[in-house]
Amino acid sequence: MLSINNLETSYGLIKALKGVSLDAAEGEVTCILGPNGAGKTTLMFTLSGIIKPDAGSIDFFGTSLTGLAAPKVLREGLALVPENRLVFPLMSVRENLLAGAYTRNRSDKDEVEADIEKMFARFPVLKERQEQNAGTLSGGEQQMLALARALMSRPKMLLLDEPSVGLAPVIVNEVFAIIKQLKEDGLSIVLVEQNVVKALEVADHFYLLDQGRVTFAGTPGEMENDDVIKRAYLGGG
Amino acid sequence: MSVYVASILTNMALISFLALSAYLVLVVGVVSFGQQAFFGVGAYVTATVTSIYGGHAVTGVFIGMLSGAACALVLAILTVRLSGLYFAISTLCFAELCRLGLLQVRAPFDIDGRTTGPDGPEGFSNIRWIFEHNYSVQDFLVLTTVCLVALLGLLFLLERSRIMLRARLVGQDSILAQSLGLRPILYRIVFVTLSGGVAGFGGGLFALFNTYIEPNMFGVMLGVHGLAYAVIGGLGAPIGPLIGVAIDIGLLESIRAISAYRMIAFGGLVALLLILLPQGLISPRFVARMRRWRKLFHV
Protein backbone atom coordinates (compact mmCIF):
# COMPACT_ATOMS: atom_id res chain seq x y z
CA MET A 1 0.00 0.00 0.00
CA LEU A 2 0.97 3.58 -0.61
CA SER A 3 1.10 6.04 2.24
CA ILE A 4 1.92 9.70 1.75
CA ASN A 5 2.61 11.96 4.65
CA ASN A 6 2.77 15.76 4.59
CA LEU A 7 4.25 15.86 1.12
CA GLU A 8 5.49 19.27 -0.02
CA THR A 9 6.75 20.03 -3.52
CA SER A 10 7.57 23.34 -5.10
CA TYR A 11 8.62 24.80 -8.43
CA GLY A 12 11.11 27.46 -7.41
CA LEU A 13 9.20 29.80 -5.12
CA ILE A 14 5.79 28.42 -5.96
CA LYS A 15 4.58 25.72 -3.61
CA ALA A 16 2.47 23.28 -5.57
CA LEU A 17 1.91 20.74 -2.80
CA LYS A 18 1.49 22.18 0.68
CA GLY A 19 1.51 19.12 2.88
CA VAL A 20 -0.50 16.38 1.20
CA SER A 21 -1.29 13.24 3.17
CA LEU A 22 -3.19 10.33 1.74
CA ASP A 23 -3.33 6.54 1.68
CA ALA A 24 -4.02 4.20 -1.21
CA ALA A 25 -4.91 0.68 -0.16
CA GLU A 26 -3.87 -2.51 -1.89
CA GLY A 27 -6.32 -3.81 -4.47
CA GLU A 28 -8.38 -0.63 -4.43
CA VAL A 29 -8.90 2.27 -6.78
CA THR A 30 -8.08 5.52 -5.04
CA CYS A 31 -9.33 8.53 -6.90
CA ILE A 32 -7.88 12.01 -6.62
CA LEU A 33 -10.18 14.79 -7.75
CA GLY A 34 -9.40 18.43 -8.08
CA PRO A 35 -9.65 21.45 -10.35
CA ASN A 36 -6.90 22.48 -12.75
CA GLY A 37 -3.87 23.73 -10.89
CA ALA A 38 -4.74 21.83 -7.71
CA GLY A 39 -1.45 19.96 -7.83
CA LYS A 40 -2.70 16.60 -9.11
CA THR A 41 -0.05 16.17 -11.77
CA THR A 42 2.62 17.54 -9.43
CA LEU A 43 1.58 14.87 -6.94
CA MET A 44 1.87 12.19 -9.65
CA PHE A 45 5.30 13.46 -10.71
CA THR A 46 6.50 13.57 -7.11
CA LEU A 47 5.25 10.06 -6.39
CA SER A 48 6.98 8.66 -9.46
CA GLY A 49 10.28 10.38 -8.71
CA ILE A 50 10.25 12.82 -11.64
CA ILE A 51 10.25 15.76 -9.22
CA LYS A 52 11.82 15.65 -5.78
CA PRO A 53 9.73 16.69 -2.78
CA ASP A 54 10.91 19.38 -0.34
CA ALA A 55 9.47 17.64 2.67
CA GLY A 56 7.25 14.77 3.72
CA SER A 57 7.45 11.07 3.11
CA ILE A 58 6.23 8.46 0.64
CA ASP A 59 5.94 4.89 1.84
CA PHE A 60 5.20 2.06 -0.55
CA PHE A 61 4.68 -1.47 0.77
CA GLY A 62 7.06 -0.74 3.62
CA THR A 63 9.77 0.87 1.48
CA SER A 64 10.45 4.57 1.55
CA LEU A 65 10.26 6.12 -1.92
CA THR A 66 10.94 9.64 -0.66
CA GLY A 67 13.44 11.33 -2.95
CA LEU A 68 14.14 8.22 -5.03
CA ALA A 69 14.81 8.77 -8.75
CA ALA A 70 12.24 7.64 -11.31
CA PRO A 71 13.96 4.37 -12.34
CA LYS A 72 14.15 3.18 -8.74
CA VAL A 73 10.51 4.06 -8.05
CA LEU A 74 9.50 2.05 -11.10
CA ARG A 75 11.60 -0.90 -9.93
CA GLU A 76 9.78 -0.78 -6.61
CA GLY A 77 6.58 -1.34 -8.59
CA LEU A 78 4.96 2.07 -8.87
CA ALA A 79 4.31 2.99 -12.52
CA LEU A 80 2.93 6.22 -13.92
CA VAL A 81 0.86 6.80 -17.04
CA PRO A 82 1.38 10.54 -17.54
CA GLU A 83 -1.37 12.77 -18.82
CA ASN A 84 -1.43 13.81 -22.46
CA ARG A 85 1.92 12.33 -23.38
CA LEU A 86 0.80 8.93 -24.23
CA VAL A 87 3.06 7.29 -26.76
CA PHE A 88 6.25 7.71 -28.75
CA PRO A 89 4.55 8.53 -32.04
CA LEU A 90 7.39 7.53 -34.38
CA MET A 91 7.84 4.10 -32.87
CA SER A 92 5.71 1.09 -33.59
CA VAL A 93 3.15 -0.19 -31.11
CA ARG A 94 5.38 -3.15 -30.28
CA GLU A 95 8.42 -0.92 -29.72
CA ASN A 96 6.35 1.23 -27.39
CA LEU A 97 5.43 -1.84 -25.38
CA LEU A 98 9.06 -2.94 -25.24
CA ALA A 99 10.02 0.50 -23.97
CA GLY A 100 7.70 -0.14 -21.04
CA ALA A 101 9.72 -3.19 -20.07
CA TYR A 102 12.89 -1.14 -19.94
CA THR A 103 13.53 -1.89 -16.27
CA ARG A 104 13.48 -5.65 -16.80
CA ASN A 105 14.38 -6.29 -20.47
CA ARG A 106 17.83 -7.74 -20.16
CA SER A 107 17.32 -10.86 -18.10
CA ASP A 108 13.93 -12.22 -19.08
CA LYS A 109 13.38 -11.76 -22.78
CA ASP A 110 10.94 -14.64 -23.08
CA GLU A 111 8.84 -13.38 -20.22
CA VAL A 112 8.71 -9.94 -21.79
CA GLU A 113 7.51 -11.51 -25.04
CA ALA A 114 4.91 -13.47 -23.09
CA ASP A 115 3.77 -10.27 -21.41
CA ILE A 116 3.45 -8.54 -24.77
CA GLU A 117 1.19 -11.41 -25.89
CA LYS A 118 -0.85 -10.93 -22.71
CA MET A 119 -1.25 -7.26 -23.53
CA PHE A 120 -2.35 -8.17 -27.04
CA ALA A 121 -4.93 -10.53 -25.57
CA ARG A 122 -6.22 -7.79 -23.30
CA PHE A 123 -6.08 -5.08 -25.96
CA PRO A 124 -6.79 -6.87 -29.27
CA VAL A 125 -6.64 -3.65 -31.24
CA LEU A 126 -2.96 -3.29 -30.31
CA LYS A 127 -2.21 -6.71 -31.75
CA GLU A 128 -3.78 -5.72 -35.05
CA ARG A 129 -1.63 -2.61 -35.16
CA GLN A 130 1.57 -3.85 -33.60
CA GLU A 131 3.77 -2.84 -36.52
CA GLN A 132 2.03 0.49 -37.07
CA ASN A 133 3.55 3.75 -35.86
CA ALA A 134 1.93 4.59 -32.53
CA GLY A 135 1.29 8.15 -33.74
CA THR A 136 -1.25 6.82 -36.24
CA LEU A 137 -3.48 5.32 -33.53
CA SER A 138 -6.64 7.07 -32.40
CA GLY A 139 -6.70 8.86 -29.04
CA GLY A 140 -8.43 5.92 -27.34
CA GLU A 141 -6.04 3.40 -28.82
CA GLN A 142 -3.09 5.50 -27.68
CA GLN A 143 -4.50 5.51 -24.16
CA MET A 144 -4.78 1.72 -24.32
CA LEU A 145 -1.21 1.51 -25.50
CA ALA A 146 -0.04 3.80 -22.72
CA LEU A 147 -1.84 1.61 -20.16
CA ALA A 148 -0.43 -1.56 -21.67
CA ARG A 149 3.06 -0.09 -21.74
CA ALA A 150 2.88 0.87 -18.06
CA LEU A 151 1.72 -2.68 -17.25
CA MET A 152 4.78 -4.05 -19.03
CA SER A 153 6.88 -3.06 -16.03
CA ARG A 154 4.71 -5.40 -13.90
CA PRO A 155 3.78 -2.72 -11.38
CA LYS A 156 2.19 -3.35 -8.01
CA MET A 157 0.39 -0.04 -8.29
CA LEU A 158 -0.53 2.08 -11.27
CA LEU A 159 -0.75 5.88 -11.22
CA LEU A 160 -3.17 7.07 -13.91
CA ASP A 161 -3.13 10.78 -14.61
CA GLU A 162 -6.46 11.76 -16.19
CA PRO A 163 -6.84 8.83 -18.56
CA SER A 164 -10.15 10.17 -19.91
CA VAL A 165 -8.93 13.61 -20.89
CA GLY A 166 -9.66 14.51 -24.51
CA LEU A 167 -11.41 11.24 -25.34
CA ALA A 168 -14.87 10.72 -26.82
CA PRO A 169 -17.50 9.50 -24.29
CA VAL A 170 -17.67 6.05 -25.87
CA ILE A 171 -13.92 5.68 -25.56
CA VAL A 172 -14.01 6.97 -21.98
CA ASN A 173 -16.39 4.11 -21.20
CA GLU A 174 -13.93 1.66 -22.71
CA VAL A 175 -11.04 3.08 -20.69
CA PHE A 176 -13.04 2.80 -17.49
CA ALA A 177 -14.07 -0.75 -18.34
CA ILE A 178 -10.38 -1.58 -18.54
CA ILE A 179 -9.65 0.15 -15.24
CA LYS A 180 -12.41 -1.93 -13.67
CA GLN A 181 -10.95 -5.07 -15.16
CA LEU A 182 -7.45 -4.23 -13.88
CA LYS A 183 -8.92 -3.69 -10.43
CA GLU A 184 -10.64 -7.08 -10.56
CA ASP A 185 -7.30 -8.60 -11.47
CA GLY A 186 -6.02 -7.26 -8.16
CA LEU A 187 -4.00 -4.27 -9.34
CA SER A 188 -3.94 -1.24 -7.06
CA ILE A 189 -4.65 2.00 -8.87
CA VAL A 190 -4.37 5.68 -8.05
CA LEU A 191 -6.61 7.49 -10.47
CA VAL A 192 -6.51 11.22 -11.09
CA GLU A 193 -9.79 12.26 -12.68
CA GLN A 194 -12.01 15.23 -13.35
CA ASN A 195 -14.86 13.08 -14.58
CA VAL A 196 -16.46 12.40 -11.21
CA VAL A 197 -19.43 10.51 -12.55
CA LYS A 198 -17.18 7.93 -14.22
CA ALA A 199 -14.81 7.85 -11.27
CA LEU A 200 -17.70 6.95 -8.96
CA GLU A 201 -18.14 3.73 -10.94
CA VAL A 202 -14.70 2.40 -10.07
CA ALA A 203 -13.24 4.20 -7.07
CA ASP A 204 -13.24 2.84 -3.54
CA HIS A 205 -11.88 5.96 -1.97
CA PHE A 206 -11.84 9.64 -2.87
CA TYR A 207 -9.55 12.53 -2.09
CA LEU A 208 -10.18 16.08 -3.15
CA LEU A 209 -7.10 18.14 -3.82
CA ASP A 210 -7.39 21.92 -3.93
CA GLN A 211 -4.53 24.41 -4.15
CA GLY A 212 -2.01 21.88 -2.97
CA ARG A 213 -4.01 20.59 -0.01
CA VAL A 214 -6.34 17.67 0.61
CA THR A 215 -9.70 19.25 1.37
CA PHE A 216 -11.83 16.12 1.47
CA ALA A 217 -11.27 12.43 2.04
CA GLY A 218 -13.92 9.77 2.09
CA THR A 219 -15.81 6.93 0.51
CA PRO A 220 -17.96 7.35 -2.60
CA GLY A 221 -21.07 7.46 -0.39
CA GLU A 222 -19.64 10.19 1.83
CA MET A 223 -18.60 12.12 -1.22
CA GLU A 224 -21.98 12.01 -2.87
CA ASN A 225 -23.47 13.48 0.27
CA ASP A 226 -20.92 16.27 0.64
CA ASP A 227 -22.57 19.56 -0.25
CA VAL A 228 -19.48 21.32 -1.60
CA ILE A 229 -18.52 18.44 -3.84
CA LYS A 230 -22.07 17.95 -5.01
CA ARG A 231 -22.24 21.55 -6.12
CA ALA A 232 -18.78 21.69 -7.69
CA TYR A 233 -18.53 18.30 -9.35
CA LEU A 234 -21.81 16.51 -9.59
CA GLY A 235 -24.04 19.36 -10.61
CA GLY A 236 -27.19 20.53 -8.86
CA GLY A 237 -27.43 21.20 -5.16
CA MET B 1 42.34 14.06 -58.61
CA SER B 2 43.26 17.71 -58.60
CA VAL B 3 44.37 19.43 -55.42
CA TYR B 4 41.32 21.68 -55.66
CA VAL B 5 38.83 18.81 -55.71
CA ALA B 6 40.74 16.94 -53.02
CA SER B 7 40.77 19.93 -50.72
CA ILE B 8 37.05 20.55 -51.18
CA LEU B 9 36.31 16.91 -50.41
CA THR B 10 38.59 17.04 -47.36
CA ASN B 11 36.80 20.12 -46.09
CA MET B 12 33.50 18.35 -46.57
CA ALA B 13 34.74 15.38 -44.56
CA LEU B 14 36.10 17.66 -41.83
CA ILE B 15 32.90 19.65 -41.42
CA SER B 16 31.01 16.35 -41.39
CA PHE B 17 32.53 15.65 -37.99
CA LEU B 18 30.99 18.87 -36.74
CA ALA B 19 27.63 18.03 -38.32
CA LEU B 20 27.67 14.55 -36.74
CA SER B 21 28.48 16.06 -33.37
CA ALA B 22 25.47 18.39 -33.71
CA TYR B 23 23.41 15.32 -34.68
CA LEU B 24 24.37 13.47 -31.49
CA VAL B 25 23.14 16.37 -29.39
CA LEU B 26 19.90 16.72 -31.36
CA VAL B 27 19.16 13.02 -30.84
CA VAL B 28 18.71 13.55 -27.09
CA GLY B 29 16.30 16.39 -27.75
CA VAL B 30 18.40 19.51 -27.19
CA VAL B 31 19.92 22.01 -29.59
CA SER B 32 23.52 23.17 -29.29
CA PHE B 33 24.92 26.30 -30.87
CA GLY B 34 28.30 25.58 -29.33
CA GLN B 35 29.75 22.53 -31.09
CA GLN B 36 32.34 24.77 -32.76
CA ALA B 37 33.97 25.23 -29.36
CA PHE B 38 34.78 21.52 -29.10
CA PHE B 39 35.98 21.57 -32.70
CA GLY B 40 38.23 24.53 -31.86
CA VAL B 41 39.52 23.01 -28.63
CA GLY B 42 40.34 19.80 -30.52
CA ALA B 43 42.17 21.85 -33.16
CA TYR B 44 44.21 23.86 -30.65
CA VAL B 45 45.12 20.85 -28.54
CA THR B 46 46.15 18.79 -31.58
CA ALA B 47 48.21 21.70 -32.88
CA THR B 48 49.90 22.08 -29.50
CA VAL B 49 50.71 18.39 -29.17
CA THR B 50 52.13 18.03 -32.69
CA SER B 51 53.84 21.40 -33.18
CA ILE B 52 55.12 22.31 -29.73
CA TYR B 53 55.65 18.93 -28.13
CA GLY B 54 56.53 17.16 -31.36
CA GLY B 55 53.90 14.49 -30.82
CA HIS B 56 52.61 12.18 -33.54
CA ALA B 57 49.44 13.24 -35.35
CA VAL B 58 47.57 10.23 -33.99
CA THR B 59 48.51 11.19 -30.44
CA GLY B 60 47.58 14.79 -31.16
CA VAL B 61 44.17 14.03 -32.62
CA PHE B 62 43.47 11.52 -29.86
CA ILE B 63 44.26 14.04 -27.13
CA GLY B 64 42.31 16.64 -29.11
CA MET B 65 39.32 14.32 -29.11
CA LEU B 66 39.61 13.73 -25.36
CA SER B 67 39.87 17.48 -24.74
CA GLY B 68 36.75 18.12 -26.81
CA ALA B 69 34.93 15.42 -24.87
CA ALA B 70 36.16 16.79 -21.54
CA CYS B 71 34.96 20.32 -22.38
CA ALA B 72 31.61 18.91 -23.47
CA LEU B 73 31.33 16.90 -20.26
CA VAL B 74 31.92 20.04 -18.20
CA LEU B 75 29.32 21.92 -20.23
CA ALA B 76 26.82 19.05 -19.98
CA ILE B 77 27.17 18.90 -16.21
CA LEU B 78 26.89 22.67 -15.81
CA THR B 79 23.75 22.81 -17.95
CA VAL B 80 22.13 19.66 -16.67
CA ARG B 81 19.01 21.40 -15.40
CA LEU B 82 18.52 23.67 -18.41
CA SER B 83 16.03 22.84 -21.10
CA GLY B 84 15.29 23.93 -24.62
CA LEU B 85 16.12 27.54 -25.31
CA TYR B 86 18.16 27.97 -22.13
CA PHE B 87 20.39 25.07 -23.01
CA ALA B 88 20.89 26.45 -26.52
CA ILE B 89 21.83 29.88 -25.20
CA SER B 90 24.25 28.48 -22.67
CA THR B 91 26.03 26.38 -25.31
CA LEU B 92 26.41 29.49 -27.43
CA CYS B 93 27.82 31.44 -24.49
CA PHE B 94 30.19 28.61 -23.65
CA ALA B 95 31.50 28.53 -27.22
CA GLU B 96 32.00 32.29 -27.31
CA LEU B 97 33.75 32.08 -23.96
CA CYS B 98 36.14 29.52 -25.41
CA ARG B 99 36.77 31.62 -28.52
CA LEU B 100 37.35 34.82 -26.56
CA GLY B 101 39.52 32.90 -24.11
CA LEU B 102 41.69 31.58 -26.95
CA LEU B 103 42.08 35.13 -28.24
CA GLN B 104 43.81 35.95 -24.96
CA VAL B 105 46.20 33.02 -24.99
CA ARG B 106 49.56 34.25 -26.25
CA ALA B 107 52.30 31.67 -25.92
CA PRO B 108 54.32 31.73 -29.15
CA PHE B 109 57.19 29.28 -29.35
CA ASP B 110 60.22 29.34 -31.55
CA ILE B 111 60.80 25.89 -32.90
CA ASP B 112 63.45 25.29 -35.58
CA GLY B 113 63.45 28.98 -36.44
CA ARG B 114 59.69 29.05 -37.03
CA THR B 115 57.12 30.69 -34.78
CA THR B 116 54.39 28.37 -33.69
CA GLY B 117 52.01 28.04 -30.74
CA PRO B 118 48.89 30.03 -29.89
CA ASP B 119 49.34 33.75 -30.38
CA GLY B 120 45.97 35.37 -29.61
CA PRO B 121 44.29 36.85 -32.66
CA GLU B 122 47.42 36.14 -34.77
CA GLY B 123 46.46 32.51 -34.48
CA PHE B 124 48.44 29.32 -34.31
CA SER B 125 50.70 29.05 -37.33
CA ASN B 126 53.18 26.52 -38.64
CA ILE B 127 51.34 23.35 -37.78
CA ARG B 128 53.73 21.47 -40.01
CA TRP B 129 53.07 17.82 -39.26
CA ILE B 130 51.68 16.96 -42.70
CA PHE B 131 54.55 18.79 -44.44
CA GLU B 132 57.16 17.08 -42.32
CA HIS B 133 55.66 13.70 -43.06
CA ASN B 134 55.11 14.39 -46.74
CA TYR B 135 51.37 14.06 -46.79
CA SER B 136 49.84 15.42 -49.98
CA VAL B 137 46.35 16.88 -50.01
CA GLN B 138 45.15 13.67 -51.67
CA ASP B 139 46.77 11.55 -48.94
CA PHE B 140 45.11 13.61 -46.30
CA LEU B 141 41.77 13.22 -48.05
CA VAL B 142 42.16 9.44 -47.84
CA LEU B 143 43.11 9.67 -44.16
CA THR B 144 40.13 11.91 -43.31
CA THR B 145 37.74 9.75 -45.30
CA VAL B 146 38.92 6.61 -43.54
CA CYS B 147 38.38 8.28 -40.16
CA LEU B 148 34.93 9.50 -41.19
CA VAL B 149 33.88 6.09 -42.48
CA ALA B 150 35.14 4.49 -39.27
CA LEU B 151 33.12 6.98 -37.24
CA LEU B 152 30.04 6.31 -39.35
CA GLY B 153 30.55 2.59 -38.78
CA LEU B 154 30.66 3.15 -35.03
CA LEU B 155 27.58 5.35 -35.19
CA PHE B 156 25.67 2.72 -37.18
CA LEU B 157 26.56 0.15 -34.52
CA LEU B 158 25.41 2.60 -31.86
CA GLU B 159 22.23 3.20 -33.87
CA ARG B 160 21.36 -0.50 -33.61
CA SER B 161 21.97 -0.59 -29.89
CA ARG B 162 19.54 -0.14 -27.05
CA ILE B 163 21.49 2.89 -25.92
CA MET B 164 20.54 4.80 -29.06
CA LEU B 165 16.95 3.62 -28.92
CA ARG B 166 16.66 4.91 -25.37
CA ALA B 167 18.45 8.14 -26.18
CA ARG B 168 15.83 8.70 -28.85
CA LEU B 169 13.06 8.04 -26.32
CA VAL B 170 14.61 10.68 -24.09
CA GLY B 171 14.88 13.03 -27.06
CA GLN B 172 11.26 12.55 -28.05
CA ASP B 173 9.74 13.03 -24.61
CA SER B 174 11.90 13.22 -21.54
CA ILE B 175 9.03 13.11 -19.02
CA LEU B 176 7.52 10.05 -20.65
CA ALA B 177 10.98 8.49 -20.78
CA GLN B 178 11.36 9.12 -17.06
CA SER B 179 8.01 7.51 -16.35
CA LEU B 180 9.41 4.40 -18.07
CA GLY B 181 12.41 4.39 -15.78
CA LEU B 182 15.02 6.11 -17.95
CA ARG B 183 17.37 8.82 -16.72
CA PRO B 184 17.23 11.62 -19.29
CA ILE B 185 20.04 13.51 -17.55
CA LEU B 186 22.41 10.59 -17.89
CA TYR B 187 21.69 10.20 -21.60
CA ARG B 188 22.13 13.90 -22.17
CA ILE B 189 25.49 13.98 -20.39
CA VAL B 190 26.73 10.92 -22.29
CA PHE B 191 25.62 12.14 -25.69
CA VAL B 192 26.85 15.70 -25.26
CA THR B 193 30.21 14.29 -24.15
CA LEU B 194 30.31 11.97 -27.17
CA SER B 195 29.48 14.91 -29.41
CA GLY B 196 32.38 16.86 -27.92
CA GLY B 197 34.70 13.96 -28.67
CA VAL B 198 33.52 13.73 -32.28
CA ALA B 199 33.88 17.49 -32.79
CA GLY B 200 37.29 17.51 -31.09
CA PHE B 201 38.46 14.70 -33.35
CA GLY B 202 37.33 16.60 -36.45
CA GLY B 203 38.93 19.78 -35.14
CA GLY B 204 42.23 17.97 -34.68
CA LEU B 205 42.24 16.79 -38.29
CA PHE B 206 41.22 20.28 -39.36
CA ALA B 207 44.26 21.81 -37.61
CA LEU B 208 46.60 19.33 -39.26
CA PHE B 209 45.09 19.93 -42.70
CA ASN B 210 44.85 23.69 -42.46
CA THR B 211 48.34 24.14 -40.92
CA TYR B 212 47.13 27.46 -39.51
CA ILE B 213 44.26 28.08 -37.11
CA GLU B 214 42.92 31.12 -35.31
CA PRO B 215 40.18 31.54 -32.71
CA ASN B 216 37.87 33.38 -35.10
CA MET B 217 37.64 30.31 -37.33
CA PHE B 218 35.60 28.74 -34.54
CA GLY B 219 32.92 31.41 -34.35
CA VAL B 220 29.17 31.10 -34.22
CA MET B 221 28.77 30.72 -37.97
CA LEU B 222 30.75 27.49 -37.99
CA GLY B 223 28.50 26.03 -35.31
CA VAL B 224 25.37 27.25 -37.05
CA HIS B 225 26.46 25.54 -40.25
CA GLY B 226 27.17 22.27 -38.47
CA LEU B 227 23.76 22.47 -36.82
CA ALA B 228 22.02 23.37 -40.08
CA TYR B 229 23.55 20.33 -41.81
CA ALA B 230 22.24 18.06 -39.08
CA VAL B 231 18.81 19.69 -39.13
CA ILE B 232 18.26 19.57 -42.90
CA GLY B 233 19.85 16.13 -43.12
CA GLY B 234 17.45 14.83 -40.52
CA LEU B 235 17.68 12.86 -37.29
CA GLY B 236 16.77 9.48 -38.70
CA ALA B 237 20.28 8.18 -39.37
CA PRO B 238 23.88 9.45 -39.18
CA ILE B 239 23.99 9.67 -42.96
CA GLY B 240 21.55 12.62 -42.74
CA PRO B 241 24.09 15.24 -41.60
CA LEU B 242 26.47 14.16 -44.37
CA ILE B 243 23.79 14.82 -46.94
CA GLY B 244 23.42 18.28 -45.42
CA VAL B 245 27.16 18.84 -45.86
CA ALA B 246 27.07 17.52 -49.41
CA ILE B 247 24.26 19.88 -50.35
CA ASP B 248 25.92 22.98 -48.94
CA ILE B 249 29.60 22.54 -49.64
CA GLY B 250 29.42 19.93 -52.37
CA LEU B 251 26.76 21.59 -54.43
CA LEU B 252 26.62 25.24 -53.55
CA GLU B 253 30.20 26.16 -52.76
CA SER B 254 31.84 24.03 -55.38
CA ILE B 255 29.86 25.27 -58.34
CA ARG B 256 31.81 28.45 -58.82
CA ALA B 257 29.13 30.30 -60.74
CA ILE B 258 26.85 30.31 -57.73
CA SER B 259 29.40 30.17 -54.92
CA ALA B 260 29.14 33.92 -54.40
CA TYR B 261 25.46 33.46 -53.63
CA ARG B 262 26.04 30.39 -51.51
CA MET B 263 24.89 31.87 -48.21
CA ILE B 264 21.71 33.21 -49.78
CA ALA B 265 21.00 29.96 -51.57
CA PHE B 266 21.79 27.85 -48.50
CA GLY B 267 19.75 30.05 -46.17
CA GLY B 268 16.82 29.84 -48.58
CA LEU B 269 17.20 26.10 -48.85
CA VAL B 270 17.22 25.65 -45.08
CA ALA B 271 14.09 27.78 -44.79
CA LEU B 272 12.36 25.84 -47.56
CA LEU B 273 13.28 22.46 -46.12
CA LEU B 274 12.11 23.43 -42.66
CA ILE B 275 8.72 24.29 -44.16
CA LEU B 276 8.42 21.26 -46.43
CA LEU B 277 10.30 18.65 -44.38
CA PRO B 278 10.56 19.92 -40.81
CA GLN B 279 12.07 16.59 -39.74
CA GLY B 280 14.86 16.83 -42.31
CA LEU B 281 15.57 14.71 -45.37
CA ILE B 282 16.37 11.47 -43.52
CA SER B 283 13.76 11.87 -40.80
CA PRO B 284 13.01 9.27 -38.12
CA ARG B 285 9.66 8.80 -39.85
CA PHE B 286 11.41 8.11 -43.14
CA VAL B 287 13.72 5.57 -41.48
CA ALA B 288 10.77 3.86 -39.77
CA ARG B 289 8.97 3.61 -43.11
CA MET B 290 12.07 2.19 -44.81
CA ARG B 291 12.38 -0.40 -42.10
CA ARG B 292 8.75 -1.39 -42.50
CA TRP B 293 9.10 -1.69 -46.27
CA ARG B 294 12.18 -3.79 -45.87
CA LYS B 295 10.31 -6.08 -43.52
CA LEU B 296 7.43 -6.42 -45.97
CA PHE B 297 9.92 -7.22 -48.66
CA HIS B 298 11.43 -10.07 -46.69
CA VAL B 299 8.04 -11.51 -45.83
Map residue B234 onto helix, strand or coil: coil
Quick check: is A93 in a domain? no
Given A50, A75, A95, which is nearest B179 (Cβ)?
Answer: A50
Quick check: is A150 in a domain? no
Would the CB atoms of B172 and A48 count as touching at under 8 Å? no
Would the CB atoms of A88 and B285 count as touching at under 8 Å? no
**Residue A133: DSSP 8-state:** B
Would the CB atoms of B183 and A69 count as touching at under 8 Å? yes
Beta bridge partners of B111: B114
Would the CB atoms of A85 and B176 count as touching at under 8 Å? yes
Could you tell me if B29 lies within 8 Å of chain A, comparing CB atoms? no
Could you tell me if A107 lies within 8 Å of chain B, comparing CB atoms? no
Quick check: is A179 in a domain? yes
B237: chain A residues, CB-CB within 8 Å: none
Report CA-CA distances (Å) from B275 to B32, B243, B262.
21, 18, 20
Given B166, B172, B181, which is nearest A153 (Cβ)?
Answer: B181
Task: Provide CB contacts within 8 A for A67, sequence distance 6+.
Answer: A52, A53
When divided into structural domains, chain A yields a total of 1
Could you tell me if A92 lies within 8 Å of chain B, comparing CB atoms? yes
What pLDDT, on a 0 to 100 scale, did the predictor assign at position B13?
Answer: 95
Which chain A residue has the Cα nearest residue B165?
A99
Would the CB atoms of A49 and B169 count as touching at under 8 Å? no
What pLDDT, on a 0 to 100 scale, did the predictor assign at position B64?
Answer: 97
> How many pairs of residues across A and B have Cβ atoms under 8 Å apart?
60
Quick check: is A112 in a domain? no
B173: chain A residues, CB-CB within 8 Å: 85, 88
Which chain A residue has the Cα nearest residue B167?
A99
Single-letter residue type at B199: A
Quick check: is A137 in a domain? no
Q: What radius of gyration, in Å, describes the C-alpha atoms of chain A?
A: 18
What pLDDT, on a 0 to 100 scale, did the predictor assign at position A237?
Answer: 46
Single-letter residue type at B212: Y
What pLDDT, on a 0 to 100 scale, did the predictor assign at position A101?
Answer: 85
Name the minimum distance, in Å, from the CA of A58 to any CA of chain B.
17
CA A53, distance to chain mean position in Å, is 19
CATH number at residue A177: 3.40.50.300
Which chain B residue has the Cα nearest residue A45?
B179
Quick check: is A183 in a domain? yes
Name the minimum distance, in Å, from the CA of A75 to any CA of chain B.
8
Helix, strand, coil in percent for chain B, rounding step 5: 75, 5, 20
Name the minimum distance, in Å, from the CA of A121 to any CA of chain B.
22
Going by DSSP bridges, is the β-strand pair A213-218/A205-210 parallel, antiparallel, or unpaired?
antiparallel
Angle A218-A219-A222 (CA atoms, 0-180°, nearest 5)?
Answer: 80
Q: What are the pLDDT tens digits along chain B (299 aa)?
A: 888 889 889 999 999 999 999 999 999 999 999 999 999 999 999 999 999 998 899 999 999 999 999 999 999 999 988 888 999 999 999 999 999 999 999 988 888 888 888 998 899 988 888 888 888 999 999 999 999 999 999 999 998 888 898 899 999 888 889 888 889 999 999 999 999 999 999 999 999 999 999 999 999 999 999 999 999 998 888 999 999 999 888 777 767 777 777 778 888 888 888 888 888 888 888 887 787 777 777 65
Instruction: Write down the CATH number for the domain with range B3-298.
Output: 1.10.3470
Choose from B173, B178, B183 for mutation: most chain A CBs within 10 A.
B178
B285: chain A residues, CB-CB within 8 Å: 90, 133
Quick check: is A159 in a domain? yes
What pLDDT, on a 0 to 100 scale, did the predictor assign at position B291?
Answer: 77
Task: Give the span between the Cα atoms of B98 and B100, in whole angstroms.
Answer: 6
A103: chain B residues, CB-CB within 8 Å: 180-181
Helix, strand, coil in percent for chain A, rounding step 5: 40, 25, 35
Would the CB atoms of A79 and B172 count as touching at under 8 Å? no
A107-115, long-range: CB within 8 Å, 24+ apart, which pairs?
A: A112/A152, A115/A151, A115/A152, A115/A154
Which chain B residue has the Cα nearest residue A92?
B288
Give ipTM to 2 decimals.
Answer: 0.81
B166: chain A residues, CB-CB within 8 Å: 102
Contact B117, B48 (CB under 8 A): yes
What pLDDT, on a 0 to 100 scale, did the predictor assign at position B277?
Answer: 85
Task: Give the span between the Cα atoms of B34 and B89, in whole angstroms.
Answer: 9
Query: Considering only residues 168 to 187 of chain B, which have any Cβ-Cβ distance to chain A shorter than 8 Å?
Result: 169, 172-173, 175-176, 178-183
Quick check: is A34 in a domain? yes
Q: Structural domain of residue A52, as residue ranges?
A: 2-86+155-234
A153: chain B residues, CB-CB within 8 Å: 180-181
Task: Give the span between the Cα atoms of A102 and B162, in whole angstroms.
Answer: 10
Would the CB atoms of A80 and B181 count as touching at under 8 Å? no
Which residues of chain A have a pLDDT value below 70? 85, 105-107, 234-237
Given A49, A90, A153, which is nearest B284 (Cβ)?
Answer: A90
